[in-house]
């Protein structure tokens, strides 16, 4: 099956491509890029004026909940949500039940993902056995089974010695050690950012320092171990400053943040809405602004959703009792376009880079991109298409979004993954997510 | 004048006129309480539920009496634990209460925001009887009432709140209320009990209790939870009593007419010495009496009641 995309803005920052033109996909490969293409045969033609055609997005931080919490999300529903959000590859975190700390667990995820559909799933293995922070997991085994990175996400590796060893050991496999930078002894049971808002709301606060001191320590250890450190979900201005200094000193340190930290602040917790309870917590406007700046200037390499599905009944409780986390796959692009690009804080090419080549590089993932002969892995979106977030229409099994009811700009039109084209159901109307064409 | 709100969840953001309306109405009800039969038929046929997820005999009895004196039907439910851990969720609770068609829900919960959760999903009027470390608005109002009863107004008054401000919903409600009606507020506590940036609430902060209470018109003493003595917030209660306790020596140096208040229950010998708690400056028992009148006023006004010429229905 062949498709001809006509008149799109072809955008692949990693290859320096940003121009209007056509693109032809045939047999799961990109046949031609750019200019006006007249194809032999009769390819399905997609009029894409005003739309952007870019490499399919890569999300390096997703929670799929399977195994263990299939009521919140499954590998199948999570990959459908990913496709609906324009993602062609996602990395899933190992804090499942049981955790992904064995070859068997990694293989299970890869097999399920294979059955589920065309979205590529890159499992992340544990740093420590059982995520207990006591001894290293069999990292070599995990990598051989297909783990793309290691992380104890949800917990920080408290022992500095163990973290040093993890950074040293992971060097043998050239994978990043992804740190959930939070000293929980300093968070002390907090449920939101510590500051003026927590003071008003009477909720226990998590100081910015619980993140900052953890990043600072991990950077020091990465230097000592000469290892590769990736800092997950940076939420504070000071955290950014630590990462910036590490990069200036030439250390192999990378970082990500999530759309909600770039869009929202702790002020939006005024009504105790548990769908805005995340960890790390939403911070102040100054933190958000620093994160925006750091994404723009590259100190923060990538944007990842930290998609954290929780069933409704677990969020419909008092704020203290609710679990941390928001879903993000299906709103990420629109949130980022609305709050960053349209608001003038970030040029579109840099946003696309944050969602494609930057995370791919950190994960060691070969991103095909807009190159002739490459496997088709492309997303087509209309940056002006607006829609109102209606959680009941999510592909994800969970609905815990902080953006419910908001009008956002940016609509995914299609995803080309190898021989498949996926057309998400329109956000504004009925329909269904379906792979509309199969390979011959 | 009517109170144009469905619920009373906190004093933050309450208008001065609203607070004054409640205090004036409470004044009228205090008169009622002095009658031979201290009861009015105002809320006959209305139903109130007192839902206490956290034990508090004093506040619960105060609300129950207020409801009975207004002739409302009332039920009290004590829930041993935070809901989520015990099976029934707060949402189940809301659904059940909604189905029973109640008019008032008075709720005490250990989680900040729990009354807001209920209020946003219930048609009944919700009164916050204390939520976590957030607010305890009727306590704040009864404190204000007690202060105004003695001084006539709040203009130029200097109120000092001493104790565990960080964990205290009483302190928050009092700060919001007192600032709104025009009093000056000083908070005095060990640094570990002072939320960072508390000055933003328009209060003064002092860590030397002797300096703080000098020239004060009112000293509000907060309860120190014994479990704070874990070496993290306080070295020992003994040291707290020495540094911050309101003992006789300190009480003797207060300016004439200065009131000493405490929301109860008292840890005698820790935050306040028995002789001071029972001494001539103490209005601790007046606070308890006034609590009933203030709660009657709040329930009455939330039911849509009006005050005309100081006469209460
Ligand atoms: Zn994390």
The per-residue pLDDT of chain B, averaged, comes to 92
So what's the pLDDT on residue B94? 86
The closest of A149, A157, A153 to A123, measured between CA atoms, is A149
- Residue B277 CA to its chain's centroid (Å): 18
- Quickly state the pLDDT bin for B229 (edges 50, 70, 90): confident
The closest of A317, A284, A276 to A197, measured between CA atoms, is A284
- Among A198, A200, A317, select the one facing B90 at the smallest CB separation: A317
Give chain A's contact residues with B (Cβ, < 8 Å). 194-196, 198-205, 271-272, 313, 316-321
Q: Mean pLDDT, to the nearest integer, of B131-139?
A: 97
* pTM for the structure as a whole: 0.92
User: What is the tens place of the pLDDT at every residue in A96-134?
Assistant: 999 999 999 999 999 999 999 899 999 999 999 999 999
Measured in angstroms, how far is the CA atom of residue A153 from the centroid of ligand 1?
4
- Residues paired with B212 in a beta bridge: none
**Those residues with Cβ within 8 angstroms of residue A200's Cβ, 6 or more apart along the chain or in another chain:** B12
- Chain B residues close to A316, C-beta within 8 Å: 89-91
What is the C-alpha to C-alpha distance for residues A121 and B146, in angstroms, rounded to an integer?
65
- Quickly state the pLDDT bin for A42 (edges 50, 70, 90): confident
So what's the pLDDT on residue A425? 72
- Chain B residues close to A194, C-beta within 8 Å: 196
B113 vs A: CB within 8 A: yes
Q: Catalytic one among A306, A382, A390, A436? A: A306
> Rounded to whole angstroms, what are the CA distances from B130 to A58, A180, B135, B199, B257?
46, 35, 6, 23, 30
B160 vs A: CB within 8 A: no
- Among B12, B113, B135, select the one facing A318 at the smallest CB separation: B113
Q: Which two tokens stand for residue B131?
A: 């939520």
User: What is the tens place of the pLDDT at every residue in A49-85?
Assistant: 999 999 999 999 999 999 999 999 999 999 999 999 9
Q: Are A227 and A252 in contact (CB under 8 A)?
A: yes
Q: Mean pLDDT, to the nearest integer, of B260-264?
A: 96
So what's the pLDDT on residue A308? 98
So what's the pLDDT on residue B82? 45
The closest of B100, B140, B141, B94 to B114, measured between CA atoms, is B94
Q: What are the strands, taking DSSP E only, across B38-89?
A: 47-52, 73-78
What is the C-alpha to C-alpha distance for residues A415 and B273, in angstroms, rounded to an integer?
73
Provide the H-helix boundaries in chain B. Answer: 16-34, 57-69, 90-99, 114-119, 137-151, 169-181, 209-213, 237-244, 248-252, 274-277, 284-302
- Chain A residues close to B120, C-beta within 8 Å: 271
Is residue A273 part of the annotated active site? The answer reads: no
Q: Mean pLDDT, to the nearest integer, of A371-397?
A: 96
Q: Mean pLDDT, to the nearest integer, of B19-30?
A: 97
Q: Which two tokens stand for residue B78?
A: 């004590």
> Rounded to whole angstroms, what are the CA distances from A43 to A25, A26, A28, A118, A422?
9, 8, 13, 21, 16
- Residue A139 CA to its chain's centroid (Å): 23
Q: Are A416 and A4 in contact (CB under 8 A)?
A: no
Q: Which H/E stretch holds residue B188?
A: strand B184-188
Q: Mean pLDDT, to the nearest integer, of B214-237?
A: 90
Q: Are A88 and A146 in contact (CB under 8 A)?
A: no
Residue B279 has pLDDT above 70, yes or no: yes
CA distance B263 to chain A (A): 18
Residue B312 has pLDDT above 60, yes or no: no
Q: For residue B310, how many other CB atoms are within 10 A of its CB?
A: 10
> Rounded to whole angstroms, what are the CA distances from A171 to A125, A126, A159, A358?
15, 15, 19, 20
Q: Which two tokens stand for residue A123?
A: 């499992």
What is the C-alpha to C-alpha distance for residues A425 and A423, in angstroms, rounded to an integer?
6
| 3-state percent breakdown (helix, strand, coil) of chain B, nearest 5 | 40, 15, 40
Residue B195 has pLDDT above 80, yes or no: yes
**Those residues with Cβ within 8 angstroms of residue B276's Cβ, 6 or more apart along the chain or in another chain:** B246, B247, B248, B250, B251, B260, B282
Q: Are A131 and A101 in contact (CB under 8 A)?
A: yes
- The structure tokens 């060097």 sit at A171
- The structure tokens 């405490």 sit at B262
Q: For residue A292, how many other CB atoms are within 10 A of its CB?
A: 20
Q: Is the dihedral of CA A105, A111, A112, A117 positive or negative?
A: positive
So what's the pLDDT on residue B1? 78
The closest of A66, A67, A72, A113 to A90, measured between CA atoms, is A113
Q: Is the dihedral of CA A95, A96, A98, A100 positive or negative?
A: negative
Residue B311 has pLDDT above 90, yes or no: no
Q: Mean pLDDT, to the nearest integer, of A375-399?
A: 96
Instruction: Determine the 3-state secondary structure of B150 from DSSP.
Output: helix
Q: Exposed, middle or buried, A255 (CB in 10 Å: 0-12/13-18/19+)?
A: buried
- Residues paired with B204 in a beta bridge: B186
Q: Which two tokens stand for residue A113?
A: 């993902």
- Residues paired with A123 in a beta bridge: A92
- Residues paired with B131 in a beta bridge: B109, B135
Q: Between β-strands A377-388 and A407-417, what pairing exists: parallel, antiparallel or unpaired?
A: antiparallel
So what's the pLDDT on residue A389? 96
**Using the beta-carbon criterion (under 8 Å), do B110 and A321 form an inter-chain contact?**
no
Q: Are A210 and A183 in contact (CB under 8 A)?
A: yes
So what's the pLDDT on residue B88? 78
DSSP B178: H
Query: Could you give the percent of chain A with pLDDT greater than 90?
Result: 92
- State phi, psi for A93 to the nearest 5 degrees: -80, 150
Instruction: Determine the 3-state secondary structure of B296 from DSSP.
Output: helix
- This complex has an ipTM of 0.87
- Residue A182 CA to its chain's centroid (Å): 19
So what's the pLDDT on residue A434? 56
Measured in angstroms, how far is the CA atom of residue A136 from the centroid of ligand 1?
19
**Using the beta-carbon criterion (under 8 Å), do B197 and A204 form an inter-chain contact?**
no
One-letter-per-residue 3-state SS of chain A: CEEEEEEEEEEEHHHCEEEEEEEEEECCEEEEECCCCCCCCCCEEEECCCCEEEECEEEEEECCCCCCCCCCCCHHHHHHHHHHCCEEEEEECCCCCCCCCCHHHHHHHHHHHHHHCCCEEEEEECCEHHHCCCCECCHHHHHHHCCCEEECCCCCCCCHHHHHHHHHHHHCCCCCEEECCCCHHHHCCCCEECCHHHHHHCCCEECCHHHHHHHHHHHHHHHHHCCCEEECCCCCHHHHHHHHHHHHCCCCEEEEECHHHHHCCHHHHCCCCHHHCCCCCCCCHHHHHHHHHHHHHCCCCEECCCECCCCHHHHCCCHHHCCCCCCCCCCHHHHHHHHHHCCCCCCHHHHHHHHCHHHHHHHCCCCCCCCCCCECEEEEEEEEEEEECCHHHCCCCCCCCCCCCCEEEEEEEEEEECCEEEECCCCCCCCCCEEEECCC
What is the C-alpha to C-alpha distance for residues A113 and A90, in angstroms, rounded to an integer?
10
What is the C-alpha to C-alpha distance for residues A330 and A333, in angstroms, rounded to an integer?
8
B12 vs A: CB within 8 A: yes
Angle between helices B57-69 and B16-34 (to 10 degrees): 70
Residue A439 has pLDDT above 60, yes or no: no
- State phi, psi for A439 to the nearest 5 degrees: -65, 155
Whether omega for the bond prior to residue A280 falls within 30 degrees of 0, making it cis, is yes
Q: Mean pLDDT, to the nearest integer, of B89-115?
A: 92
**Using the beta-carbon criterion (under 8 Å), do A320 and B131 form an inter-chain contact?**
no
The per-residue pLDDT of chain A, averaged, comes to 95
Q: Are A238 and A212 in contact (CB under 8 A)?
A: yes
- Quickly state the pLDDT bin for A436 (edges 50, 70, 90): low
Measured in angstroms, how far is the CA atom of residue B129 from the centroid of ligand 1?
36
Classify each residue of B43-56 as buried b or exposed e, where b means 16 or more C-beta atoms within 10 Å of its C-beta.
Answer: beebbbbbbbbbeb
**Those residues with Cβ within 8 angstroms of residue A341's Cβ, 6 or more apart along the chain or in another chain:** A347, A348, A351, A383
What is the C-alpha to C-alpha distance for residues A155 and A279, in angstroms, rounded to an integer?
11
């Amino acid at each position: 099956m062949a498709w001809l995309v006509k008149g799109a803005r072809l955008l692949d920052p990693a290859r320096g491509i940003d121009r209007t033109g056509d693109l032809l996909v045939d047999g799961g490969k990109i046949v031609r890029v750019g200019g006006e293409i007249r194809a032999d045969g009769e390819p399905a033609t997609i009029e894409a004026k005003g739309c952007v055609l870019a490499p399919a997005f890569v999300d390096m931080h997703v929670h799929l909940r399977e195994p263990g919490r299939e009521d919140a999300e499954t590998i199948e529903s999570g990959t459908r949500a990913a496709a609906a959000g324009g993602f062609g590859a996602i990395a899933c975190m190992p804090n499942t039940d049981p955790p992904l700390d064995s070859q068997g667990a990694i293989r299970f995820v890869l097999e399920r993902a294979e059955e589920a559909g065309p979205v590529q799933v890159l499992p992340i293995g544990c740093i420590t056995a059982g995520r207990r922070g006591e001894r290293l997991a069999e990292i070599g085994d995990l990598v051989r089974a297909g783990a793309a990175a290691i992380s104890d996400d949800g917990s920080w590796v408290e022992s500095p010695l163990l973290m040093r060893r993890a950074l040293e050991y992971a060097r043998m496999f050239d994978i990043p050690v992804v740190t959930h930078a939070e000293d929980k002894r300093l968070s002390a049971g907090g449920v939101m950012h510590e500051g003026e808002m927590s003071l008003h709301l009477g909720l226990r606060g998590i100081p910015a320092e619980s993140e900052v001191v953890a990043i600072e320590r991990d950077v020091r250890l990465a230097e000592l171990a000469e290892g590769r450190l990736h800092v997950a979900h940076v939420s504070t201005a000071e955290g950014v400053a630590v990462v910036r200094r590490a990069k200036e000193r030439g250390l192999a340190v990378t970082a990500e943040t999530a759309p909600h930290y770039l869009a929202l602040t702790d002020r939006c917790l005024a009504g105790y809405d548990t769908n805005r309870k995340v960890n790390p917590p939403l911070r102040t406007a100054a933190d958000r602004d620093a994160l925006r700046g750091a994404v723009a200037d590259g100190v923060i390499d990538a944007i990842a959703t930290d998609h954290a599905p929780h069933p409704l009944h677990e969020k419909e409780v008092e704020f203290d009792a609710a679990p941390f986390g928001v879903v993000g796959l299906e709103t990420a692009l629109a949130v980022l376009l609305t709050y960053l690009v349209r608001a003038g804080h970030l040029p579109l090419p840099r946003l696309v880079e944050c969602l494609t080549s930057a995370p791919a590089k950190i994960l060691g993932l070969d991103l095909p991109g807009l190159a002739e002969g490459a496997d088709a892995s492309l997303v087509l979106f209309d940056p002006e298409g607006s829609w109102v977030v209606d959680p009941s229409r999510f592909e994800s099994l969970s609905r815990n979004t902080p953006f419910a009811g908001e009008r956002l700009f940016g609509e995914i039109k299609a995803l080309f993954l190898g021989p498949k084209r996926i057309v998400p159901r329109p956000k504004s109307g009925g329909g269904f997510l379906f792979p509309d064409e199969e390979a011959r | 004048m009517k109170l144009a709100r469905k619920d009373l969840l906190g004093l933050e953001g309450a208008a001065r006129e609203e607070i004054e309306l409640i205090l004036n109405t409470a004044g009228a009800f205090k008169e009622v309480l002095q009658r031979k039969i201290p009861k009015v038929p105002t809320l006959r046929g209305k139903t109130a539920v007192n839902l206490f997820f956290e034990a508090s005999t004093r506040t619960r009895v105060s609300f129950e009496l207020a409801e009975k004196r207004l002739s409302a039907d009332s039920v009290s439910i004590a829930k041993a634990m935070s809901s989520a851990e015990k099976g029934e969720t707060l949402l189940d609770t809301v659904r059940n209460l909604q189905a029973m068609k109640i008019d008032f829900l008075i709720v005490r919960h250990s989680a900040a925001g729990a009354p807001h959760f209920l209020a946003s999903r219930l048609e009944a009027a919700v009164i916050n009887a204390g939520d976590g470390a957030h607010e305890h608005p009727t306590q704040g109002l009864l404190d204000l009432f007690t202060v105004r009863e003695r001084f006539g107004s709040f203009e130029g008054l200097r109120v000092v709140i001493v104790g565990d401000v960080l964990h205290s919903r009483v302190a928050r409600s009092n700060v919001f209320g007192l600032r709104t009606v025009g009093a000056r507020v000083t908070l005095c506590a060990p640094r570990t009990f002072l939320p960072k940036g508390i000055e933003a609430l328009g209060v003064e902060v002092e860590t030397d209790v002797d300096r703080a209470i000098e020239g004060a018109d009112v000293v509000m003493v907060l309860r120190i939870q014994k479990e704070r003595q874990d070496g993290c917030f306080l070295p020992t209660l003994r040291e707290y009593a020495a540094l911050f306790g309101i003992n006789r020596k300190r009480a003797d140096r207060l300016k004439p007419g200065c009131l000493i208040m405490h929301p109860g229950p008292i840890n005698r010998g820790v935050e306040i010495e028995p002789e001071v708690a029972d001494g001539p400056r103490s209005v601790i028992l007046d606070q308890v009496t006034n609590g009933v009148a203030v709660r009657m006023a709040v329930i009455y006004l939330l039911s849509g009641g009006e005050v005309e010429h100081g006469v209460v229905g």
